[in-house]
Homo-oligomer: A and B are copies of this chain.
Amino acid sequence: MTLNVEKELSELKAKVGDIPGAENKLTMIVFSGDLDKQLAAMIIATGAAAMGMKVVLFFTFWGTAALRDPGKHVNGKNFMGKMFGMMLPKGRNKLKLSQMHMAGMGTAMLKGLMQKKNVASMDQLLDVAGQLAVKIYVCEMSMDLMGFKKEEMIDYPGLEICGVATMLSHAKESAIQFFI
């Protein structure tokens, strides 16, 4: 009888030990470079971190442009890198809304409203995220494609460049995943 119980117990242990998606963790792919979506991502990220969840963000494609530091200049870029550098918004304060941008009016209106209503700005959200140990990864392939270099990214504690496999291994362990 006891032997049987032990066998079942060890089978169950193996099964439980193997369950993916079982960590109190949120992994989010931040693909969009639109201001509204970046704000949504950071509000969700800081909210989850404040609730005690581990939070991992993976900035890719248009999203990477938001992490550029407008005060940093990088030399030695090739022609394509320079073109992407010019055409994409330089940092989080140059992002536009996905809708109703209206030549800047909608975007300015939202920023004004956010200030009035005490909704945190991208700067404040990144600051809080850093304090709450939200992990930020930047997609290696996107950086390479757009000719961005690590030296032109913002100073964020623990910011790392990684590939899609690192992101997926976090996502697999996470209770929540979003693609934004």
Residues of A with Cβ closer than 8 Å to B? 1-2, 5-6, 8-9, 12-13, 15-16, 18-24, 26, 29, 31, 33, 36-37, 40, 43-44, 47-48, 50-51, 53, 60-62, 80, 83, 87-88, 98-100, 106, 109-110, 113-114, 117, 119, 141, 144-145, 163-165, 168-169, 171-172, 174-180
Return A157 CB to nearest CB of chain B, in Å.
23
10 cross-chain pairs, A with B, having the tightest CB-CB distances, nearest first: A20-B175, A21-B175, A47-B164, A178-B179, A19-B22, A21-B21, A171-B176, A172-B175, A176-B177, A48-B168
Q: Are A172 and B53 in contact (CB under 8 A)?
A: yes
- Nearest residue (CB) in B for A176 is B171
- A sample of 5 cross-chain residue pairs with beta-carbon separation below 8 angstroms, ordered by A number, consists of A1-B2, A20-B22, A22-B22, A113-B145, A119-B145
